[in-house]
Amino acid sequence: MKHSILYISIVLFFTACNTDFLDTDPATEFSETAVWSDPALVETFINQIYFRLDEPLTDGRMKANLVDEGHYRGNASSLNFNRSRMTPDDLLGWGVSRFRKWEDLYKSIRYCNLFFAKAEEVPFGTQPVDGKTEKERMTGEVHFLRAFLYQSLVSTYGGVPLISEVYNLDDGFQKERSSFAECIQFIVADLDKAAELLPVAHSGANIGRATKGAALALKSRVLLYAASDLYNTHHFDSFEQPDLLQYTTGTRAERWVAAKNAAKAVIDLGIYQLYRATPAPTDDIAQNYADIFLNKTTEEDIFIKFFTTPMGQRFGLYTSPNGYHGWGTNAPLGDFVDDFEMRDGSRFNWSNPVHAAAPYQNRDPRFYGTVLFNEASWRQRPDDAKGIDPHNKIQTGRWERWNASSNSMTVSYGVDTRKSSIEDWNGSYTGYYLRKYVDPMIDAQYIRQAVTWRYIRYAEILLNYAEACIALGEDQEAKLYINQVRKRAGMPAVTETGTALRDRYRNERRIELGFEEHRFYDVRRWMIAPQVYNRTTKVADIVYKMNPDHSTSVTPTVKHVDFEQYTWDDKAYFLPILRDEMNKNEKLIQNPNY
């Protein structure tokens, strides 16, 4: 797949009016003139913009660790972020991924703008492929990519400077922030243009590039966010320019209708469907769900990123249990685990003695496809752990055993705990590991995995549509689409209405899209962050207790206990613009309370 080959042998330096192009080494570099005279090199240039889109599989650390989904064991920055301690001098855990940053997002936007400035010079072929010419397809891709980049900025900072030209080194860099409404209008215009220019589907080596459906799906996300509470509620009374953070004109009902229509436009394309939407009675539903994230492609994919093994992700190494020589990053919190329903659709409750006695039994099948928990079956252990765990089951508990020689109880710890004999420093603090997106066929200690990252999949669109319907009071319509997702998961239909349906929907979205980089933004746009962050997180405490006869129980006692205290400050609804950027551009206005 062309855009998935991300380590490109051609090094491109694009700084306008840069005479370094005259001194390029023909073995490794091409001049600017050469690039814009060759459509194949232009395509390589676009590939680099795809490469620069933020996704967690390459560097291995997720936004889940900055909200109530996951915990990063190298935790100082993430914990301080989750205590709202970010400042204009340090974004803390946000900065672990290079391509989340303001500077790099704008660098990628500059590449998009450079393409638009040079596109008329390119001798594109005129033979249509998949119904579109080279020029149409590549131009549509870059409109999509620029919209994707701006959506990342606006979701994080509110209104930002809208730059559609290419700055030269001798230009002034003074540009004010556009209003939130102007930014949304700009992004939607780019996506409408992309949808017009892009094919409905690609064939051959172009599979994986942005399509019409990808443009319409991103538009659905953009408009859903824009209709949400955060951007339609006045919440910083002393901030001098509220239009940077929210709408100040128009009606919210119109925005919900636009969000609903945008999602429906994707549905009405009729080309996407849920993977294994109707499970057979003999299906392993948990495996069906896990397979969505391990298969190279599925009928659910709308916008994805391919990888190859040589340039594959470190994600498997970062995320796997330490008993497999993994690094234990992205470990699910007990808070996330508790929100998986019981198999009959009832809420899990630690106060229910049946639930508490066997908390990992009879849960939503997606639990088993998402989380590695104590005694969950997993891949064969490496040689140095086979004798410790001959059964290839996750061990995050401890065993109380009687030592007859000392006439006392001793405690031994599971191979995946932080007191393991194998890489205890890499063990999860939470008692859980992430299964989702971790390839069990790969020995992550030695081999990089190459699973596909899914930026947008069809389940999100169904849920987007349902959310807009709920906001418009169309509960019956909403339930039709929520229940499609639940049917695939083997879960009973929801029946609530009103506020209860909204809350049930929000939990459904939390579970279905868990660890897919949605929750960070959902918590903020719904303005539920005070409830999510102002609490002590939970982790599992698992012990195989010693019986009165000095035997050790074969059934563990599991409970969730207090772990880390998070705190919330409303300033964290938007991140601060870093001081370096403020110093470069005196027209920038800092976000409130920074």
- Residues 64-104 have pLDDT tens digits of 999 999 999 988 999 999 999 999 999 999 988 889 999 99
Burial of 6 (0-12, 13-18, 19+ CB in 10 A): middle
Comparing CA positions, the residue from 157, 160, 213, 211 lying closest to residue 187 is 160
Report the Cα 103 to chain-centroid distance in Å. Answer: 20
Residue pair 165/117 in contact (Cβ under 8 Å)? The answer is yes
| Distances, alpha carbon 294 to alpha carbons 289, 325, 381, 442, 512, in Å | 9, 21, 20, 11, 16
CATH code for the structural domain at 2-61+97-265:
1.25.40.390
Residue 512 has pLDDT above 90, yes or no: yes
- Residues 525-558 have pLDDT tens digits of 999 999 999 999 999 999 999 999 999 999 999 9
Residue 478 has pLDDT above 70, yes or no: yes
pLDDT given for residue 31 in this prediction: 72
pLDDT given for residue 29 in this prediction: 58
pLDDT given for residue 32 in this prediction: 77
- The residue extents of the domains of the chain are 2-61+97-265, 62-93+272-572
62-93+272-572 maps to CATH 3.40.50.150:
no
Which tokens hold the place of 465? 């549509």
Task: Return the ∠ at Cα 218 (arms to 213 and 220), rounded to 5°.
Answer: 95
Residue pair 447/439 in contact (Cβ under 8 Å)? The answer is no
Comparing CA positions, the residue from 585, 566, 581, 573 lying closest to residue 68 is 566
pLDDT given for residue 30 in this prediction: 61
pLDDT given for residue 97 in this prediction: 84
Residue pair 348/366 in contact (Cβ under 8 Å)? The answer is no
- Residues 245-259 have pLDDT tens digits of 999 999 999 999 999
SS3 (DSSP) at 230 = helix
Residue 10 has pLDDT above 80, yes or no: no
For strands 301-305 and 453-457, give the pairing.
antiparallel
Cα–Cα distance for residue pair 82/180, rounded to 1 Å? 25
pLDDT given for residue 59 in this prediction: 85
The better pLDDT of the pair 258, 312 is held by 258
pTM for this predicted structure: 0.94
Cα–Cα distance for residue pair 190/215, rounded to 1 Å? 9
Which tokens hold the place of 383? 């040689």
- As a three-state string, the secondary structure of 453-505 is EEEEEHHHHHHHHHHHHHHCCCHHHHHHHHHHHHHHCCCCCCCCCHHHHHHHH
- 292-301 residues labelled b (16+ CB within 10 A) or e (exposed): bbbeeebebb
pLDDT given for residue 9 in this prediction: 31
Please identify which residue in the block is written with the tokens 């400035």: 117
Within 13 Å and on the Cβ side, how many CA atoms surround 432? 29
Task: Please give the full DSSP string across 60-101, using - where no structure is assigned.
Answer: ---GGGGTTSEE-SS-HHHHHHTTT--BTTB-GGGGGSGGGS
pLDDT given for residue 23 in this prediction: 43
| Distances, alpha carbon 202 to alpha carbons 2, 5, 465, 492, in Å | 12, 17, 25, 36
Cα–Cα distance for residue pair 553/130, rounded to 1 Å? 63
Residue 244 has pLDDT above 90, yes or no: yes
- Residues 34-54 have pLDDT tens digits of 899 999 999 999 999 999 999
Cα–Cα distance for residue pair 105/95, rounded to 1 Å? 12
2-61+97-265 shares its CATH topology with 62-93+272-572: yes
- Residues 431-452 have pLDDT tens digits of 999 999 999 999 999 999 999 9
Residue 109 phi/psi, 5-degree rounding, is -65, -40
Amino acid at 312: G
The better pLDDT of the pair 172, 322 is held by 322
Mean of all residue pLDDT scores within the chain:
93
What DSSP element (H or E) covers 258? helix 252-267
Which tokens hold the place of 92? 């803390």
Cα–Cα distance for residue pair 483/543, rounded to 1 Å? 37
Which tokens hold the place of 135? 């020029």
Structure confidence at residue 418 as a pLDDT band (50, 70, 90): very high
Which tokens hold the place of 338? 């508790």
Structure confidence at residue 27 as a pLDDT band (50, 70, 90): very low
Comparing CA positions, the residue from 544, 536, 477 lying closest to residue 71 is 536
Cα–Cα distance for residue pair 284/107, rounded to 1 Å? 45
